[in-house]
Structure 1
Amino acid sequence: MNEKERNDYFYVCALIEYIARETRNHRGDIVSAIGEAGIEKLLYDAEVNHCLSFEQVSDEVIEYYKIHQGDFDTISGCNYSIPSFLDIGKLYSIMIEDCAKKGEEVKELMKIFSSFISDEISDFNTDLYYQNPDYLEWSYREGRLLE
């Protein structure tokens, strides 16, 4: 992955996290609603969308893909400081780069956001987000949190 692609994946992952928080949905529900072609379009548009606010792009994506409000609230009941959507987006983009085979990055993005690890990362009442990224990656690969 070159630097532009890294930036684009980081942006799209952060956008997915932002939309999920705004709509109170599981991250997997967001990528499912957008679909593979939609993710590819967001990646294609990422360089231009960087110039816009996350709020504006989020509103447009929510409207275009008809993403409804859910009840997966990871913010209001949190007892600890919440990592920013940018921090979480960076984490996901690193996992995609480390786990994806060349040319299959979009499929891997969808798999990671739809896997158990995504809900685990979204539980901000745990310290999972602060764990070593290698731990998160290998837990994802194994399909369970490693001991």
Structure 2
Amino acid sequence: MDKNNNSLFYTCSLIEFISRQTKNNRKDIIEYLGEDLERIYNYEDVFHCEPIEKVANDFIIRNNISTGKFDIISKCKYNIPDYWEIGEVFERLIEDIYDKKDIFRGIREVYSSWLAEKILNFNSDLYYQSRQYLAECYKAGKIIIA
């Protein structure tokens, strides 16, 4: 797959933003979005012209995304990476594991994976690790110790 897929980057960042706004797990946001996931990906260039807060709010309302109790931000003891940074981590991981034709399966599987939970523990430094390392951990099914 082409590296630096802008549509995937925006989609992952929006998933992160909506998740933080509604306190829902990322995999649950993907379920709420349903077919809108493909709409976001395919029309990223249009959505990107508006503030992400507005786009997120539109999708929250459109998909009746209720407020949950999944809050990783308040538990964080250190600097919290912003939604663009985490969007980029997930974009790269999906790019490195899945072909473009499998992009939506990749989004669903990566966000539902054990590694997503580890990356989203902002009290660790896993989200700062290299894209190659994260891809190898995902493929191995475990955190690789050097």
TM-score by length of 1: 0.91
In 2: Cα distance, 1:146 partner to 1:2 partner: 26
Q: Output one character per residue of 1:46-71: Cα deviation in whole Å (capped at 9) or x when no partner.
A: 11011111110111111111111111
Could you tell me which residue of structure 1 aligns to residue 54 of structure 2? 56
Describe how 1:33-48 pairs up with structure 2 within 5 A.
33-35=32-34, 37-48=35-46
Query: What percent identity do the matched residue pairs reach?
Result: 37
User: Runs (4+) of structure 1 moved beyond 6 Å?
Assistant: none
When the two chains are superposed, the root-mean-square deviation of aligned CA atoms in Å is 1.6
Could you tell me which residue of structure 1 aligns to residue 22 of structure 2? 23
What is the CA-CA distance between 1:144 and the residue it aligns to? 2.3
Query: Which amino acid in structure 2 is aligned with residue 9 of structure 1?
Result: L
* 3-state SS, counterpart of residue 69 of structure 1: coil
Preserved contact between residue 2 and residue 95 of structure 2 (Cα < 8 Å): no
Could you tell me which residue of structure 2 aligns to residue 129 of structure 1? 127
Q: Output one character per residue of 1:71-104: Cα deviation in whole Å (capped at 9) or x when no partner.
A: 1111112110011110111111111111112411
With over 3 angstroms needed to count, the CA separation of the structure-2 counterparts of 1:82 and 1:137, relative to structure 1, is: same
* Structure 1 residue 12 corresponds to structure 2 residue 17: no
Query: Which amino acid in structure 2 is aligned with residue 24 of structure 1?
Result: K
In 2: Cα distance, 1:58 partner to 1:121 partner: 22
- Point out where structure 1 has 5 or more consecutive residues left out of the alignment: none
Q: Output one character per residue of 1:96-123: Cα deviation in whole Å (capped at 9) or x when no partner.
A: 1111124111110111111111111111
Could you tell me which residue of structure 1 aligns to residue 70 of structure 2? 72
* 3-state SS, counterpart of residue 139 of structure 1: helix
Match of 1:115 among 110, 113, 124: 113
In 2: Cα distance, 1:61 partner to 1:75 partner: 21
Could you tell me which residue of structure 2 aligns to residue 144 of structure 1? 142
In 2: Cα distance, 1:79 partner to 1:73 partner: 13
- Point out where structure 2 has 5 or more consecutive residues left out of the alignment: none
Preserved contact between residue 15 and residue 30 of structure 2 (Cα < 8 Å): yes
Number of aligned residue pairs:
145
Describe how 1:78-97 pairs up with structure 2 within 5 A.
78-97=76-95
In 1: Cα distance, 2:51 partner to 2:38 partner: 20
Preserved contact between residue 27 and residue 119 of structure 1 (Cα < 8 Å): no
In 2: Cα distance, 1:57 partner to 1:42 partner: 10
